[in-house]
A and B are shown apart, each in its own frame.
Chain A
């Protein structure tokens, strides 16, 4: 009964999709403000990755809000799971392959994550992706060692310092460039590592913050099952 009602409702949703999407032909050029970003992005921001230019320069205030959403989510998770001590944990020891492999891969994964967020303005990637890669290194440690545990205090310190660095860079932009999060540093030569003004600085801050937050989320979820 419930399945049939759901299927009928989904039929209406599908019809709605069909009606709306048949007016939006696939693959047409609908760019409006994006044209400005693509044509003037390099000269205005110095970043050759236009997506990064949009995320960290043109719409950096949105990104600050996004970082805040992630912070609130990890805060809520910490508040829910902090006192929680479950009964069932990882009873079985991980295999030798996983333990040895994680020991070898751990520094390499951290290095790769740092590479991704440092090169966010040149190649695909950025702070969020690099942070997720860094957090996956800690997840691997949790999977490999039953009694592994990260130091929560250090992680929240990294998180707070890098979050504050984002806002401080924004305020410096307000003081020197005239508006919040303006790109006040030298743009440099495009395609080189030290270019694009404040974008790499902001992306390093975002990368550390997201990495610490996601590692904290992983730690909260993994430790909630331990006795």
Chain B
């Protein structure tokens, strides 16, 4: 229980990643697969942010008050995740546009019914 309490953010991030992977592997609807990809993406972002967390730390923004450099969390994972979120949006948009085209071409979003995609 103590371990779980100390690493709650890791558990949450890993759970999001695993749920996303499960959805990608098991679901057969293209929209659901895209939801899985985005869950995976969110999980990775949460993992990166929680690796950069420092106990008792605040957001790394100087406000002119008593907060000093010693009380800040690591800013680099936050900057990287800022990048990752934007790229995640790009991936999501491109995947959805391909899905629109797939639906117009095949008339279905079921991966089992789309020829050439069976496994």
Give me the interface of A with B, judged by CB distance under 8 Å: 2-3, 6-7, 9-10, 13-14, 17, 21, 24-31, 33-35, 37-39, 42, 48-51, 53-55, 59, 62-63, 66, 69-70, 72-74, 76-77, 80-81, 84, 86, 123-124, 126, 128, 132, 190-191, 210, 214, 217, 220-221, 224-225
Contact = CB atoms under 8 A, between A and B. Distances in A.
Nearest to B96: A221
B97 A21 contact: no
Contact of B90 (A73, A191, A220): A73
B76 interface: yes
B62 A37 contact: no
B117 interface: no
A81 B7 contact: no
B106 to A, nearest CB: 14
A37 B76 contact: yes
Interface residues of B, number: 46
Given A27-B53, A34-B76, A69 B90 contact: yes
Interface in B5-52: 6-7, 9-10, 14, 17-18, 21-22, 25-26, 50-52
B114 interface: no
Nearest to B9: A26
B87 A66 contact: yes
7 contacts: A31-B74, A49-B60, A51-B61, A66-B87, A72-B90, A74-B93, A191-B62
